[in-house]
Chains A and B, each alone.
Chain A
Amino acid sequence: MTEKGAAEPLIRVSALSEGTVIDHLVAGTALKVLDILGIEFEGAVTIGMNLESRKMGQKDIIKIEHREVSPNEVAKIAVVSPRASFSIIRDFKVVEKFSPTPPKLIEGLIWCKNPSCISREDRVKSKFVVVRMDPLQIRCHYCERSQRKEEIELL
């Protein structure tokens, strides 16, 4: 990473022995991301919000000790923050670093806001086509209604 924003050294103070760093979150989404990950953590959780970022203007960052993320969680986080980057730390080293591939189809993660959409019936898994990534706009595969980022409700 070439980014060396003024806020970076501060956040590096608490080096992780093992866990996950989720960086480049859209500013203001950190709490939503914690919500996606659930709130029962064993280790320390460090949250930085509205940090300066050369790339993004402002960003949020989360460090979670003793916790790795599942592919399903990554997909959900990509919906709220498409450009997030994930670093998996083991023994103080970054063993894996990745950004979620923007999905073309989001399955079973989002609730269709149209009350008369057939996907709201039992037994139907919701499906959304990604129309535009940034800012996120999605269209229900079933009822074909568009939803904007601010309207999206995660299941």
Chain B
Amino acid sequence: MTAPAPDTDSFAGRDLISMRDYKRDELLAFLDEATFYEGYQEPLLKGKVLASLFFEPSTRTQLSFASAMQRLGGSTLGFSDAKLSSMAKGESLSDTIRVVESYCDIILIRHPREGAARLASESTSLPVINAGDGTNQHPSQTLLDLYTVRQTRGRLDNLKIAFIGDLKYSRTVHSLIETLTHFDNEIFLVSPQSLRTPPEFIEELDARGTVYTEDEDFFSIASDVDIIYTTRIQQERFPDPIEYEKVKNAYRIDREAIERVGADVTLMHPLPRLNEISTDLDDYPGAAYFDQAKNGVTVRKAILSLLLGASR
């Protein structure tokens, strides 16, 4: 079962639309390659242009990609809001992509509708990176999460990983859970009743034979977990503000909570946070959420270089 690791050249010209398109050994090759981009600043992508098309704003993702591009000597153009694009005048997405294609070497797209990045990739021969299509996928986030898991724990299997908070709507969590099914881990899904993991993801865990537990109470299941991955619980998900207040505080992680589960735990969060992780944990050795942001640039440098076929 030891297939040779895919050559990094095999990523050249490919798209990064969905984690479903990448197999386990490809993911590992990707992560291995990314480690070389830690602090790497050679002008590898000199003369290359990234078109960054944000049909809905996501400042963090856009800045992270722009930073990665510039660190490698490339440049970025684009827009950060659909109102500024010709889409507002009713142009189809395919037409926009066909026009933009002549301005750049690689396309980054964020769009409020699911499937938009896939459609964009079918409208051009250039590599397309999905920076979030509605509630569907955000693969560079998933890759940076995996990268952070491996960096902090030294491995991607035999881990106990607890996901806490909004497991119903969180695209980040869904994508990471699905990708983790390539590896052998134990998953804990902790959420209020109304924000449980959707049945189709649970079915996928069953189909892949992943061991998991669902519960409302974090402490009743998560003793000596290796990783706690929390997400924001957004107020708009709760019609009743009192219900929201209760839930919000029930899933808050602070120093006391960490001491109860065991001190050697890695804390992850896609940021921005509201109050899910107490700021008194920011100097806690296991706090990895700012590392995630930093790793975002490293991983995105690797994504841009690999898809553009630029060899390090």
Contact = CB atoms under 8 A, between A and B. Distances in A.
Contacts, number: 49
Contact of B114 (A122, A123, A142, A146): A142
A118 B20 contact: no
Contact of A117 (B18, B20, B115): B115
Contacts of B137: 144
B2 interface: no
Contacts of A144: 18, 20, 114-115, 136-137
A3 B65 CA distance: 63
B220 interface: no
Given A142-B114, A143-B136, A121 B92 contact: yes
Nearest to B111: A118
A116 B134 contact: yes
A114 B92 contact: no
Given A143-B134, A144-B137, A116 B113 contact: yes
A130 interface: no
A90 interface: no
Interface string B165-194: 000000000000000000000000000000
B17 to A, nearest CB: 10
Given A116-B113, A117-B114, A117-B115, A123 B136 contact: no
Contacts of A122: 92
B294 to A, nearest CB: 29
User: Which of A118, A122, A146 is packed against the most chain B CB atoms within 10 Å?
Assistant: A118
A117 B94 CA distance: 15
B283 interface: no
Interface in B92-145: 92-94, 111-116, 118-119, 133-134, 136-137
A81 interface: no
B92 A143 contact: no
A116 B114 contact: yes
A144 B119 CA distance: 12
Given A116-B113, A116-B134, A117-B113, A142 B118 contact: yes
A123 B93 CA distance: 10
B117 to A, nearest CB: 9
A124 B116 CA distance: 11
B200 interface: yes
Given A116-B134, A124-B119, A145 B92 contact: no
Contacts of B112: 116
A118 B200 contact: no
A96 B80 CA distance: 58
Query: Can you list the 6 inter-chain pairs with the closest CB atoms, starting with the nearest?
Result: A142-B115, A143-B114, A118-B115, A143-B115, A118-B113, A118-B116
Given A116-B134, A119-B119, A141-B115, 13 more contacts: A117-B113, A118-B115, A118-B116, A118-B119, A119-B115, A121-B92, A122-B92, A140-B115, A142-B119, A143-B115, A143-B133, A143-B134, A144-B114
